[in-house]
Amino acid sequence: MKKTGAQILWECLVREGVADVFGYPGGAILPAYDAMLAYPIRHILTRHEQGATHMADGYARATGKVGVAIATSGPGATNMVTGLATAMMDSSPIVCITGQVGSRLIGSDAFQETDITGVTLPVTKHNYLVTRAADVAPAVREAFYLAKNGRPGPVLIDITKDAQQSQAEFDYDAAAPRPHGRPGPPPQEANFREALALINAAERPVILAGHGILLGNAMAEFKAFAERTQIPVAMTLLGIGAFPASHTLNLGMMGMHGEAWVNTAIQEADLLIAIGMRFDDRVTGTLASYAPNAKKIHVEIDPAEINKNVPVDVGIIGDVRDVLPRLLPAIAPGDRSAWLRKIDELKGGSAVLDIKNLPDEGHLYAAHVINDLWRATSGKALVVTDVGQHQMWEAQYYHHDVPRSLITSGGLGTMGFALPAAIGAKIARPNAEVWVVVGDGGFQMTMSELATIVQEGIDINIAIINNGYLGMVRQWQEFFYERRYAATPLLSPDFVKIADAYGIRGINVRKRDEVIPAVQAARKARETVLIDFAVEQEDTVYPMVPAGAALHQMIRRPSPIAETGEDV
């Protein structure tokens, strides 16, 4: 049956199970938009193409399904680059579809022409320039296969206008993806045996749990592995939620702003078992002194990650969900009680410095806001954060027991991510209670998407952690640039009035005792509510491992006596 390239595009999306797409139309993609009206797919009109990509990303992270974003050529396509790079760094499966000028105009500097496949080559898993209607179906089918298989990631399909308008025979089955890549690695029996020997012999082991556990839906297998071995679990930022925060073996987050006891345990460990993580520099600190006495095992689906940043003693290539069950039967039941008692002692020492245990003395601290949000929502909300201090406080003080309940930009650290990603997450999981936790800086980068919320009738809640600064940058200036606050004091509009202009209810919170009533009011509203939390301006995220320092060289919160004058 003959169809236009535009019709073939939507036929393929329907067959790939796509129910929602996020996009912004323009001249070069108009044939596809015109054809869209005949297909049962919901289109969410965004206010910016970057927002569309973050929405597709949030959709993907909330469900594990492929998110889809659409834009026109030229500036519409280039506006997607930040979203593609964000998805690439965090292995998020999205497919972006862009219109392109007519094939005969390519290379002529035609109106709104950009070589988007050239531009996005470094920030996509793969990309396509489609110039014939007959090539639309094979490109779409392969794009979806690549986005979600192996290590997930973003794929872009650029379709010329004439390819959308012309006709070709449509045969979905005949367009099945071709086999890709090299054959998998040979059986790794020797590696499994070496890993088992190290695990069974270790006295002070720590598991480093990463995003790959969530991407592989291996939460049950991972929990069984941790419990069988009785090895404490340190989480990467993107791994949060892969293992219940309330579990006795869960240590919390590691790395630059990880808990002090976690980083200390890693430095004192005799074995690290890295599972579905990539030894990011924010996790390791300086490599010269990283876990100096530990043997290292790395389980990872991407062979390129093995030995890339940290040399390991044993590398096992494979999906976490397949690897852990192979290890489990041969693991001797562990007795690491002495090691766990040692870690408990470290926790006790850190608790004295925890801001939760300091009197607020009438001040509103961001950590208190996050902790109260966790209490008021019983820890069951799906939280989407932006990037900066609030992101770290969320990771420290909102305790996630549920998988896929924290969505955040970890690798690229994209300001402006939270609001659109939360919209995508809510579209994907309409029954979830979704909260945006965002700074006053990042919110202003994409707050135009408030209009999308209203137009699409979306019910999410927005918590702006407003400290009047680009907070994390200010913190670095405080610590490392002698408090020379260059370009970080931040003027913001009245966010409640901004919300009102969009037809959204807003609440100002200035005191600690106003936090929970405001959160409860937002939860009852059954419509989007924005809360502006005016917090202490020069509060600091502790602990902090300075760039280039070892994990154990953390900057710790001053003692309560030094900070308050009282011994609490």
Residues that are catalytic: 49, 111-112, 161, 472
Concatenated DSSP letters for 330-353?
A: GPPPP--HHHHHHHHHHHHHHHTT
Q: Is residue 103 a contact partner of residue 158, using CB atoms and an 8 Å limit? A: no
Q: Is residue 202 a contact partner of residue 262, using CB atoms and an 8 Å limit? A: no
Q: Is residue 298 a contact partner of residue 315, using CB atoms and an 8 Å limit? A: yes
Which structure tokens are listed for 308?
């890339």
Q: What angle do CA 185, 95, 279 make, to 5 degrees?
A: 45
* Residue 136: partners with Cβ closer than 8 Å, 6 or more residues away: 5, 8, 9, 12, 130, 159, 163, 164, 168
**C-alpha distances in Å from residue 505, one per residue of 47, 448, 454, 495, 523:** 20, 16, 11, 10, 12
Which structure tokens are listed for 428?
């994907």
Sheet holding 233-235, edge to edge: 250-253, 233-235, 205-209, 271-275, 295-300, 314-317
Cα dihedral 526→530→536→541 (10° resolution): 70
* Residue 191: partners with Cβ closer than 8 Å, 6 or more residues away: 314, 315, 316
- Chain centroid to Cα 375, Å, comes to 23
- Containing 100, the helix (H) or strand (E) segment is strand 94-100
